[in-house]
Structures are given as C-alpha cells and as structure tokens.
A and B are shown apart, each in its own frame.
Chain A
C-alpha cells in the first residue's frame, strides 16, 4: 500500500509520518508543496492521499478535486486542524473518502486510514447527528430527558450565563461547554441556545 502525505507544515508532516511508520505494510511518501504533489500524482499511483486543508497556493479541497480527475482510484482523506463538522458535507458528496482531525489519537489515525483503504468509513458518531439534522430539518421531534450535565448547562444558559461564564461555573473549558451545547442542540433538534432553552422549558426538562 502506497501512501502520500501532503501538508505544507513540515513539523506536522513529520509527526504524522512518525505516527504511521510503525505499521510496515505502508510505504509512505511526503510532500510539502501541493503543486508538486499534483505532478507526483501524475507520474505515480498512490492508494491513499492525506491532504491538509489550509495550504498555499492550492488549498486541500481544490487539490482533492484535481486529484480526483488525475487519479480517480486514489482514496482521499482530508486532514484538518479545524472542526471536522465543517467538512461532513464533502463526505456526503463523496468529494473525499475520509476525514481526519489533527487532534486525533494514534489509534484513530491508523484505524481511519485502514478503514478508508478497505473502502469503509470511520467517522465520529456526531456525523450521524449531522445527517439526522439534515434529514429532519424543520420537523419537530420528540424530546426525551437530558443527561445530568447537559441539564445543568442548559439551566445556566436559561439564567443568562455566557458560555465562558458557564465554563468557569462548572469548572470545565469553553470548548467542553460548547461541545455539550452542540449535543443538546442535536438532542432537542434546535440550532441555537435561545431555541434550546425555549424547547426545554416547554418540555419541562429544566424543572
């Protein structure tokens, strides 16, 4: 199996390569310049490409589209430091074959690549929430009870706390609070704090 890693940050590129090197089945090439990568793909065949999103002068998404044309058989995995959620749509439209977060653990990385090479898909479970939201957009959904932590957070939201204030209040990071909120939104099938509070109140979830 031949892999090509494309990332214009040498530090991250080498880190990723180090992560993968333990597995002997894979021969791994690296490239820091997306334009050279295009040339490389024209000459050689790779089974899988890992593409960073933020690259100059061609970004990962444009590169993916061009690589699809040059070498349709190569599996493409978008590799990003940002939210994976932003790119779920690309996955649905089959513009890429897999998504990998730069915050992912070694196991996640290896499993994701292996899955993609097999033709499977390994994504966070929240991908299903995304699909669900897409499918049920506009429809009202029944809401069951909320877990304890989510309930606490939603109560604080109803009291007018900002996300940062909630984070301080319950001793976690803002990132964690916002992750919980996203879960709450999915659960209640709403999109904003105000709607979530209204809906939860209506359903008697905050009592």
Chain B
C-alpha cells in the first residue's frame, strides 16, 4: 500500500516537473510572439539579442539544468530551485511588456517578482534546515505566499480604478523591499550564528545580481526619477540569481564541478594538442589538396574523437582497475581523519556511529544507515559498493554470526554517488574490516580482564613466579657470596689454631658458624632447601622438623607425594605449607596441629587443622587474614579451590584442592 503510494508520488513528481518545463516553454514562446506583436520601438538587433537570443539561451540552460536536477529527485531543495528558475524566467519575460507600460505584463511581472522573493525565503528555510543552522523566524512560511496574491489582486483592481495605480506601485515596491531586506537579514543572521562558508557565498550570490537593479534602476528612479538604464536590462541580472545558487551551493554535491572541470582541462589539453599536431602534420603534406576550413574541420573532428576515446578509457579504467584520472587530495586527507577518529573507538557501537557520521559528512547526505544482518541474509562481495534500486550497499565486516552493512539512500531520498566517492567508500570499508576484527579481539580481552580486575589467575601466577624467581636469585647470591666466604674464613681459622691462642680462635670460629647458621636460615626462607635436590618430600620434612624445633604445638604431619610433574607445583605446595605453619606458629595459639599433603594422579590435596583460637579471635586478625588471602590467591592462581572452616572456639580447618594440568 505504502509502496504504491510512494510510487504514485514519484511519478506525480516527475510529471509535475515536466509540466513546469512545458509551462515555462509555453510562456517563453508566448513572450516572444507578444514582444513581436507589440512592436516595441527598439533597435532590431537589440531586440533580437534581448528578446530572442537571450531567452532562448536561458530556456536551454534552464531546461538542461532542470533535466539534470530531475536525476536527484530525492532532494527536497530541488523542486524549490526549479520553481525558482521558472518564476525568474516568468518575471523576465513579462519585464519587457511591463516596462513598456503594458498592464497585463505589469501584473505578471510584479507578482512574479514577489513570488521569487517568497520562494527564495522558502528555499533558504529548507537550506538552513539542511546545513543545520537555526532559522530565525517562524518555520510556517505559507503566509509568505499571500504577498504575491495581494499584489496580484491589487494590480488587478487598478485595471478598474486606475487612480490606485500610484498606491499599488508604492505598495509593490514596499513589499519587494521588505522581502529583499528579510532575505539579507536571514542570511546575515545565519552567518553570524554559524560562520559557515556556505552562507557567506550565498550572501555574495544574492547581492551580486541585485546590485545592478538597485544601483542602475531603483535608486536613480527613487532619487531623480530618471533611471540610468532601462529596467529590462537591469533585470537581466536577475536571471543569474537561480544559477548562482545552483553553482555556488549545489555544484559540489550535484555536479561534481571541480572534478568535471579538472577532467575537462586534462582531457581537453591532451586531445587539442594531439589533434593540432596531427592536423598540422597533415597540413604540411596535403597543403595543396585541402582548404583551410577542411583543416579546421579535421582538427575539430580529431579533438572530439580523442576526447571521446579518453572518456571511454576512463570508464573502463574505473570498472576494471578502480582508476580515476584526477584524484582529489581532499579525499585522502579526509580518509586520514576518519581513520584517526576510528582509532579512538572503544566499542563496536561507537565505531559504527563514527563510520556512519563520517560517511554522512563526506557525502553531505543524511540517509546513511548501518545495519546488522544475520550471516546468511544477503551475500555481498566484500569491499564493493553495489547499487540495488535506489540504494547503495556496502559490506563493512562479516562476523561468524552476523554481518555489518552500510546502506546509502532510502525510499525518501536517493543519491548518485560519484566514482571517486565509491572508491573512498570501498577503501573505508577495507580499513573498517580490520578495525572491527581488532576491536572484537580487544573487547574479548577487556571483558576477560574486567570480569575480575586484578584477579586474573594467569596474571597472579605469573607475578608469583617472578617473585619466586627473584627470591631464588637473592638466596643464591647470599649463599654464593657471604655464606661461602664465612665458611672459608672458618676453615682458615681452623688451620691457624695451631699457632695462636687456641681457645680464642675457636670461639671466633664458633661465632662465625653461628652467623652462617642464621644466614642459612634467611636463604632457606627465600629459597626452600632440598626442593630441587632431594625433592618435595625431603623439603617438607625438613621444614616440619624446623617448625617442631621451634613451635610450642605438637605437629603431626603426613606426606603422600607420588608425582609432581611440574617443579612450579612443588614450590607452590611448599609455600602453602610454609604459610600455614608459620601462621599457626604466630597466631593460632594451638596446642595440636595436623597437616596432610597428598599429591598423586594429578590431584593435590592439602588439609590443615588446629585447635587454636580460629580466625575471629586471632590477635593479629588483620595480618593473619592477609596471610590467608595471599594463600588463597596463590591457590586461585593455580585454578584450585580453598575451603576455610572457621570453628571459632575450637580451631581452624583449611582444605585446599588443586587439579593439575587444567590450566
């Protein structure tokens, strides 16, 4: 239903445009015969230029522009522009009769002029809307169209009461001046608010066509009553108005003027020069046979021929090799900026927003949508702009489950993309693809990291391994330097005892050995002894022996260590036992502690039990908890579990379970 409606609308729109054109054509022809019939006393050649050549040329220009503009039938500004063109033509045609004091022409002229102003205001409203500048007046502009109606009615009335002529003249002039001033006010206001280049150009293009009329006709007539030139000549400049609009505002988007001009220059020079060389060379040999007009014709035909070939080559180049004859330096710079912006995107949504925004900016076109589709819905060739009906489609990225498309154009508005823009889009799509892939990877990593910040098992494990490595290095250093030197000194003393005071030397020797003993304690705390020589069982037994030698509780330990494939696990178990028993010695106030460690068939179980005060009443609860926490993290680092059973008055039970190999 809606589709049919829109189809009808489209057809109606196309038809109405041609109706306008036909209407314009009719009026022009009518004006011509009218001026002929009136027999205005002017010079024949003057009349030929003013009333025949100029209108015909203007008609052709209008016709061609309108025909070109119809291709972009989605743009809301275009109907306004075409209406404007036609109204200006109407005003111009009637001007001759009007200034020749023909009453009917006068009515049409003044009405058309006023209508021009109204349409221009309306156009400006839409244009401001499009470039996102705030509109200073009410946005309902229908009342603007009452001015031409009033003028038309008033002028019509003067046909019956000629005495009103002067009043109506002044009223028309007043309305007209108000309209013109309003337009300038709007433009100046808009420029003051946004400082946009487009508005500045618009102001200039408005002022320039008005100036001759104001300075050559209106002002002199008001001041002296004698205008410098005939109004019809001054009014010729009005004809420039709509075109200056088209060329200053819409060319960049609609005509790609820059591109066509540079191409014309480039191809033009190539074809003329080669054609000139060819016909010049021919002239040398065929001087007698061919006449000068024939040579000229040859030259012209050659130029056109070469130019056509170059254009065909360009089309083929683009289709086959994505090659453009002239590259726009802006495109590269713009792409650079877009990529820079895309680099800051932190999520897929943000990246999509940036891409859509930048495409809108680059094409100066609002109907750009990014769409997510299931993987198998459409199959587009990657990085290639495809046209389908009024839409352009481009695949940005394909995930395993979905694909991201960009769709340019809609039911409402369509656009004709230039080759250069197609290349820009395809290049952007290639970069986007890489961006989406790396963003996906980044999002996954970030998610993993943010799940439990600072609590990532493999990071903890790595950090712990580094710390242990450092400890081992330090212990080795102490062992290799101070300890060895002391042992050496002790031996030297021993060898000298025969010579001097035996007792004293032997005392010094004992002292040295005491120091070595303490030093060894430090070394053993840093780097567990026996672990890498006699193995975990011996190391644990030795450590428990040390605890028994110092602790006030009775320790019953039981080790069943069958296989530890990885030395890291052995160290981890040793550290946990060290932590558990040191904690017990410092804080537990226990009298009986049992510890069992079993490591077999890739399972590690450590169970600690005491009859102490438990965690709550622990004198140094904070530091104890710290110790427990550190232990917990160490277990987590190996993907193990730790269960704490705090039985308050009756003691503490800690069970640790780790499955090997599931890292």
- Give A residues with C-beta under 8 Å from B: 9, 11-12, 15, 19, 53-54, 59-62, 81-83, 86-87, 89-90, 102-103, 105-106, 160, 162-163, 173-176, 178, 181-182, 185, 191-195, 198
Q: How far is the CA of A15 from the CA of B514 in the complex (A)?
A: 20
Question: Are A192 and B554 neighbours in the complex by a CB distance under 8 Å?
Answer: yes
Answer yes or no: B477 CB below 8 A from chain A CBs.
no
Residues of B within 8 A of A192 (CB): 547-549, 551, 553-555
Q: A12-B484, A59-B533, A81-B487 are in contact. Are A194 and B554 (CB under 8 A)?
A: yes
Question: Are B549 and A15 neighbours in the complex by a CB distance under 8 Å?
Answer: no
Answer yes or no: B646 CB below 8 A from chain A CBs.
no
Q: How far is the CA of A178 from the CA of B553 in the complex (A)?
A: 16
Question: Are B552 and A193 neighbours in the complex by a CB distance under 8 Å?
Answer: yes
Looking at the assembled complex, report how far the CB atom of A142 sits from the nearest CB atom of chain B, in whole angstroms: 21
Q: How many A-B residue pairs have CB under 8 A?
A: 97
Looking at the assembled complex, report how far the CB atom of B530 sits from the nearest CB atom of chain A, in whole angstroms: 6
Question: Are B484 and A191 neighbours in the complex by a CB distance under 8 Å?
Answer: no
Looking at the assembled complex, report how far the CB atom of A4 sits from the nearest CB atom of chain B, in whole angstroms: 20
Q: A61-B533, A182-B549, A194-B591 are in contact. Are A11 and B492 (CB under 8 A)?
A: no
Q: A81-B484, A106-B495 are in contact. Are A163 and B550 (CB under 8 A)?
A: yes
Residues of B within 8 A of A102 (CB): 487, 491
Which of B332-340, B515-523, B636-644 is the contact stretch? B515-523
Looking at the assembled complex, report how far the CB atom of A157 sits from the nearest CB atom of chain B, in whole angstroms: 8
Q: A192-B548, A193-B549, A194-B554 are in contact. Are A103 and B484 (CB under 8 A)?
A: no
B-side interface mostly: helix
Answer yes or no: B483 CB below 8 A from chain A CBs.
yes
Looking at the assembled complex, report how far the CB atom of B297 sits from the nearest CB atom of chain A, in whole angstroms: 96
Q: How far is the CA of A103 from the CA of B538 in the complex (A)?
A: 22
Q: How far is the CA of A54 from the CA of B480 in the complex (A)?
A: 9
The 7 A-B pairs of least Cβ separation, nearest first, read A192-B548, A173-B514, A175-B517, A194-B554, A102-B487, A59-B533, A105-B494
Residues of B within 8 A of A174 (CB): 514, 517-518
Looking at the assembled complex, report how far the CB atom of A195 sits from the nearest CB atom of chain B, in whole angstroms: 6
Answer yes or no: B529 CB below 8 A from chain A CBs.
yes
Question: Are B529 and A193 neighbours in the complex by a CB distance under 8 Å?
Answer: no
Question: Are B553 and A194 neighbours in the complex by a CB distance under 8 Å?
Answer: yes
Choose one: B491, B510, B517; the contact of A19 (CB below 8 Å). Answer: B491
Can you name the residue of chain A whose Cβ is closest to the Cβ of B483?
A81
Question: Are B529 and A86 neighbours in the complex by a CB distance under 8 Å?
Answer: yes
Residues of A within 8 A of B513 (CB): 103, 175
Residues of B within 8 A of A185 (CB): 548-549
Residues of A within 8 A of B553 (CB): 192, 194
Q: How far is the CA of A176 from the CA of B121 in the complex (A)?
A: 108
Q: How far is the CA of A10 from the CA of B547 in the complex (A)?
A: 34
Residues of A within 8 A of B492 (CB): 15
Question: Are B520 and A81 neighbours in the complex by a CB distance under 8 Å?
Answer: yes
Residues of B within 8 A of A12 (CB): 484, 487-488
Answer yes or no: B102 CB below 8 A from chain A CBs.
no
Q: How far is the CA of A182 from the CA of B548 in the complex (A)?
A: 10
Question: Are A82 and B520 neighbours in the complex by a CB distance under 8 Å?
Answer: yes
Question: Are B550 and A191 neighbours in the complex by a CB distance under 8 Å?
Answer: no
Interface residues of B in 135-162 (CB under 8 A from A): none
Q: How far is the CA of A185 from the CA of B554 in the complex (A)?
A: 13
Contact mask for chain B residues 547-568; partner A; CB cutoff 8 A; 1 contact, 0 none: 1111111110000000000000
Answer yes or no: B542 CB below 8 A from chain A CBs.
yes
Question: Are A175 and B549 neighbours in the complex by a CB distance under 8 Å?
Answer: no
Question: Are A9 and B480 neighbours in the complex by a CB distance under 8 Å?
Answer: yes
Q: How far is the CA of A54 from the CA of B478 in the complex (A)?
A: 13
Answer yes or no: B328 CB below 8 A from chain A CBs.
no
Question: Are B552 and A60 neighbours in the complex by a CB distance under 8 Å?
Answer: no
Can you name the residue of chain A whose Cβ is closest to the Cβ of B554?
A194
Question: Are B491 and A15 neighbours in the complex by a CB distance under 8 Å?
Answer: yes
Residues of A within 8 A of B484 (CB): 9, 11-12, 81
Residues of B within 8 A of A106 (CB): 491, 494-495
Looking at the assembled complex, report how far the CB atom of B557 sits from the nearest CB atom of chain A, in whole angstroms: 9
Residues of A within 8 A of B555 (CB): 191-192
Can you name the residue of chain A whose Cβ is closest to the Cβ of B488?
A15
Can you name the residue of chain B whose Cβ is closest to the Cβ of A192?
B548
Q: How far is the CA of A103 from the CA of B511 in the complex (A)?
A: 12
Answer yes or no: B479 CB below 8 A from chain A CBs.
yes
Can you name the residue of chain B whose Cβ is closest to the Cβ of A197?
B552
Looking at the assembled complex, report how far the CB atom of B540 sits from the nearest CB atom of chain A, in whole angstroms: 12
Answer yes or no: B317 CB below 8 A from chain A CBs.
no
Question: Are B550 and A103 neighbours in the complex by a CB distance under 8 Å?
Answer: no
Answer yes or no: B421 CB below 8 A from chain A CBs.
no
Residues of A within 8 A of B487 (CB): 12, 81, 102-103
Choose one: A11, A103, A173, A176; the contact of B485 (CB below 8 Å). Answer: A11
Answer yes or no: B1 CB below 8 A from chain A CBs.
no
Question: Are B488 and A86 neighbours in the complex by a CB distance under 8 Å?
Answer: no
Choose one: B488, B514, B538; the contact of A11 (CB below 8 Å). Answer: B488
Answer yes or no: B534 CB below 8 A from chain A CBs.
yes
